[in-house]
Amino acid sequence: MSDSDTQEANLPFGELKDEQAPRRRRPRARAARPESEPAGDAGTGAPAAEGTPLDEPPRRSRRRPARQPAPEVTEQGFGEGMPAFLGSPSDSGPSLEAFVAAEEQAPTPESLEPLADLAAGPNVNAGSEDEEGDRLESGQYGNRGDRNRNEGRRQRFDNRFEGNRRDRQRGDRGDRGDRGNFDGNRGEGRFESRRQEEPQRNPLPPGIEIPAINLVELKKRSPAQLLAYAEELGVENASTLKKGDLVFAILKRLAEADVPINGEGVLEILSDGFGFLRTPDVNYVAGPDDIYVSPSQIRRFALRTGDIVQGQVRAPKEGERYFALLKANTINFDDPDVARHRVHFENLTPYFPTEKLKLEVIGTKDVSTRIIDIVSPLGKGQRALIVAPPKTGKTVLMQNIAHAIAANHPDIYLIVLLIDERPEEVTDMQRTVKGEVVSSTFDEPAQRHVQVTEMVIEKAKRLVEHGRDVVILLDSITRLARAYNTVVPSSGKVLTGGVDANALQRPKRVLGAARNIEDGGSLTIIATALIDTGSRMDEVIFEEFKGTGNSEIVLDRRLADKRTFPALDVNKSGTRKEELLVDKATLSRMWVLRRILNPMGTVDAMDFLTDKMKFAKTNDDFWGSMNS
């Protein structure tokens, strides 16, 4: 270690810091001097810095270039009073005052940049921070001397921020086509794309005036009628859409023309808390034309799955996929406030059926419903089973019962539920029955059978809570139990025929929902049960449901083979508590008739009864003929 190094090490920290402070500020590198020019100042003859070659220009590298000596200060007496070990001013480098004076006198390219920007006027790329960042990353600023990189970036960020503020204060942004929608007024361009995403108002074609549209009536139209209506409204590519998508496109077209839309459907609440209004016309299948119901509306009106909601709907906004319920006008055909104060279905008091369902239809040749009225009368709230082997006419018998209920009791809400049936029978039932026909054909999965059944049962329960009388014709309870056996998780306990021990609990709840409510309202379920199918499972299912009903109508295969319809086994059919449905005079005649028919066989008894029915136009005439 040299003497000068030892003396510098013994110097107090404050003095050394004050003297060497100018050295920490590194000046920007300048171009190499020509060989003819001395490295030091010409007037003072200051020596060049050690280790810096005079005949080679500085190379571009990441290493910090050697320090270039500044011109010697001409101020006299600068070195007077300084310690001897520091040497002369020319040996120790420039002072702080000399460095500041040199910076002020020699303008640099960096100091001229703001002036050039002001002289050039508003820059079309001013504020384009992405391009500035690209220049930083590409290294275009890497050759600006030995400026500290981080300090320079912070300074450029500050300059940019100040420049943007000046631009906003100036207000004149110029033509900024490279900024997308942000042209002209900044505040206006920011939301320009959002305004374009909003649905535009599109009036209907000339000559078409629609005051309002009902979604239920629209869905009842055939696909051909919907296609013609969509083409009339100007819906694009209408022929390529399915029926549900076509209805949605028509509704959206009407919403663009500000046509009020009223919707109706049966609420299905999902596990997330919100729900959708399904329609029975598509068998409660989820589709694009379903109406969304928010959780707040569900809590406000105390809605539950199965509620029939009718109200005004609105078109989907940006980011939405479904029409939404805007206002509920009626719930289960009553005022929405009534739904808040209704009693839950399970809390209602069940009782035996006391009001008879009249199945006799005057003026028809069909005698099947008249025979049921005599042999096994049905009442409101009945839980009846039609026990039928295959090909005994159970489907036709259910059609006749549905016609009789629709004709004699128009106030009853009639639902025909077909589970695992053939599609052609579904079409025939829809065209002949004046009521709601819901189906799930045999080519659909078991989960679909279960979902349709539960929707229908929940809908019936909600109507009963409002005091309505509901009749459900279920075909068949056996196939429904098969579907539940497939869907329900295995419990590890299997009964005879492969039936899970827990599989029949849920279909029993479906059939057990039928009851007569003491304070008003009733739910009647007339279900078919299959026997003699050759399946041990069907026999087990029938035995499980055999004692749950309070009325049975048994069909016989021998009568069907002889083409005697209805193929009704008179001796095995009957109703519990039938004395609550008929008067005493009629009850006594029914007992006398059974005494006459009991000794006869099944075939002879049915032949005798049908022959007597042909000579009597009504059941009253038949009872009158027995006295004579």
Annotated binding-site residue numbers for ATP: 379-384, 391-396, 422
Number of Cβ atoms within 10 Å of the Cβ of 178 = 12
**H-state helical runs in 305-436:** 368-375, 394-408, 423-432
Among candidate residues 260, 327, 268, the one with its CA nearest the CA of residue 297: 327
As a whole number of Å, the end-to-end CA separation of the chain is 148
Phi-psi region of 348 (alpha: psi -120 to 50; beta: other; left: phi over 0): beta
Query: Number of C-alpha atoms within 13 angstroms, CB side, residue 605?
Result: 21
CA dist list (Å): 93 to 48, 75, 294: 10, 14, 80
Helix, strand, coil proportions of the chain in percent (round to 5)?
45, 15, 40
Q: Count H helices and E strands in the chain, helices first.
A: 24, 15
Among candidate residues 379, 479, 471, 477, the one with its CA nearest the CA of residue 434: 471
Crossing angle of the two packed helices 602-615 and 619-627, in degrees rounded to 10: 100
Q: Enumerate the known binding-site residues.
A: 379-384, 391-396, 422
The SS3 call for residue 616 is coil
CA dist list (Å): 38 to 32, 44, 47, 55, 263: 11, 11, 9, 11, 95
| Residue 275 near residue 283 (C-beta atoms within 8 A) | no
**H-state helical runs in 278-356:** 295-300
